Amino acid sequence: MNTTPAASSLLPRLVALRRLSVLAQGLVLLLAVGWLQIPLAVAPMISATVALALFNLFTQWRLQRGRPVGDDEILAQLLVDVAVLGVLLYFSGGSANPFVSLFLVPITIAAAALPARHAWFMAGVTTLIYSFLMFWNLPLPAPQGQMAELDALLARASGVAPEHAGHVSGFALHVLGMWLNFVVSALVVALFLTRMAAALKARDRELAAAREAALKNEQILALGTLAAGAAHKLGTPLSTMAVVLREAELAHADDIELSDDLRLLRTQVDECKKILSQTLASAGQARDEDSRQLAVDAYLERLLEEWQLIRPRATIHAVLDGPQPAPRVATDRTLEQALLNLLDNAADASPEGLELHARWDADMLRIDILDSGPGIDEAVAARIGEAFFSTKRAADGSASGGLGIGFFLTNATLERFGGRVELTPRDTGGTRTRVTLPLARLRQAPT
């Protein structure tokens, strides 16, 4: 069975449409027999309507079982509607009945939602039934009594001359039926197709978002592969640097100023080795066990302490504000790295110092990183987050002093946690980097 998302979403709409159809058929029969007093073969027509209602109840029960829906099943459902409509028209004038154009509705549905071969099959079946009804049917009787008076009134309103009224008996009533049929058909088609078009547009948006996410994941995977290779290769030169720096410290122990600089360099090399070791060790680990039971304020304080080890010359003024006790969260190491990247970017733009304002409530954590750098304009802000696009300046002032992947990975990580990052210019100069994270996602494993 060829199962498609379109078919699965179409069957519930057919059930709802068929309810309206059964209701309309019952109403028309009631008006025709009770008010207009048209002598119709009521028994077979009521039987056909009841059969359609029972079939709709069966379809609704079938939907509740959750079985997959295929295009062939949708075609079979439409053929049942066409068959019942053919029976009703056979006992009420055949092709002369103004409601004969309702055969266009299943054709429209098939053309809009099913493969071309199904649509052409539906067109062929309805054409055959229409042709059959042209020659074999129970004709409608001529208007009698009050119905004849109404027909004469409608004939005058339609512009039929009184002397020709006898030759066109029932024509005006037919015109009225055609008008009513048009209104019903227009409403049904408009309602059905607009909802179907909306569903198709929503599916197209979902597919576009899925394609974009897949492309971003491919870029992240490629960067992750390159990063893993680079981390493995960097181990040897870092070890060599650590040994050389240790020997230099011993050789220049009497030079206090140089010894301090060498000690700082060795500390930085050791930190780099630690970061690489943690990266390789936690490549397949989702959770940072050390922060599993940390409160938000404690986690941020630990994050700032770690960043100060990496950037000992940078200064930062932090303000942590929120109700106490602070919510406890379990974080991911990738999230920690994302926040460290944002702090590094701000420190690169503002060597004179940063401000960090963190606020939280029961639902949301908001972090503002304020720098005093050159700021950011709207054109650059629109491109921030693209892979390999960087706003950093090299030492010689050239356009790109960065690789353009830090913010890209940071943004991807925050989106994985349901958060977002926004860069806006400050009124006093510099840039405001705002991170918004839902605490509910920090309490559970990211998807």
Continuous H helices in 91-115: 104-113
CA dist., res. 196 & res. 347, Å (int): 52
Assess whether pLDDT exceeds 90 at residue 127. no
CA atoms within 13 A on the CB side of 65: 9
Strand 316-321, strand 354-360: pairing: parallel
CA dist., res. 329 & res. 337, Å (int): 16
CA dist., res. 410 & res. 335, Å (int): 8
Nearest to 75 by CA among 127, 10, 126, 122: 122
In Å, how far from its chain's centre is CA 223?
Answer: 26
Total number of residues shown for the chain: 447
Furthest C-alpha separation in the chain: 129
Q: What does the pLDDT look like over 351-406, one tens digit per residue?
A: 788 888 999 888 888 989 888 887 776 666 655 655 544 555 544 444 444 445 66
Instruction: For the chain, give percent helix, strand, coil, nearest 5.
Output: 65, 10, 25
In a 10 Å sphere around its CB, with 0-12 CB exposed, 13-18 middle and 19+ buried, how is residue 270 labelled? middle
Report whether 370 contacts 430 (CB < 8 A). yes
| pLDDT band (50, 70, 90) for residue 287 | very low
Q: What would you report as the CA-atom Rg of the chain, rounded to the nearest whole angstrom?
A: 37
Residues with Cβ within 8 Å of residue 6, at least 6 apart in sequence: 113, 199, 200, 203
Residue found by looking up tokens 């969260």 in the block: 329
Assess whether pLDDT exceeds 50 at residue 208. yes
pLDDT of residue 241: 79
What's the mean pLDDT in 224-235?
Answer: 63
**AA letter at 323:** P
| pLDDT band (50, 70, 90) for residue 281 | low
CA dist., res. 352 & res. 315, Å (int): 7
Neighbouring CB atoms inside 10 A of 406's CB total 19
pLDDT of residue 55: 96
pLDDT of residue 165: 44
CA dist., res. 426 & res. 443, Å (int): 32
Nearest to 303 by CA among 263, 267, 260, 332: 332
Assess whether pLDDT exceeds 70 at residue 84. yes
Q: In angstroms, what CA-CA distances link 9 with 6, 78, 200, 203, 424?
A: 5, 15, 10, 11, 42
Report whether 78 contacts 110 (CB < 8 A). yes
Assess whether pLDDT exceeds 90 at residue 212. no
pLDDT of residue 439: 84
Assess whether pLDDT exceeds 60 at residue 284. no
CA dist., res. 238 & res. 223, Å (int): 21
H or E segment at 436? strand 431-438
Residue 338, SS3 per DSSP: helix
CA dist., res. 224 & res. 215, Å (int): 14
Least confident of 49-58, 178-187, 274-283, 285-294: 285-294
CA dist., res. 356 & res. 308, Å (int): 13
What's the mean pLDDT in 29-38?
Answer: 80
Assess whether pLDDT exceeds 90 at residue 8. no
Q: What are phi and psi of 143, to 5 degrees?
A: -60, 140
Assess whether pLDDT exceeds 90 at residue 46. yes
Assess whether pLDDT exceeds 60 at residue 162. no
In a 10 Å sphere around its CB, with 0-12 CB exposed, 13-18 middle and 19+ buried, how is residue 433 labelled? buried
User: What are 264's two structure tokens?
Assistant: 């700082």
Per cent of the chain over pLDDT 90 is: 11
| pLDDT band (50, 70, 90) for residue 296 | confident
Assess whether pLDDT exceeds 60 at residue 100. yes
What's the mean pLDDT in 419-440?
Answer: 84
More confident residue, 208 or 152: 208
CA dist., res. 408 & res. 266, Å (int): 30
CA dist., res. 339 & res. 242, Å (int): 28
What structural domains does the chain harbor?
A: 5-212 (no CATH), 287-442 (3.30.565.10)
Report whether 364 contacts 440 (CB < 8 A). no
Per cent of the chain over pLDDT 70 is: 68
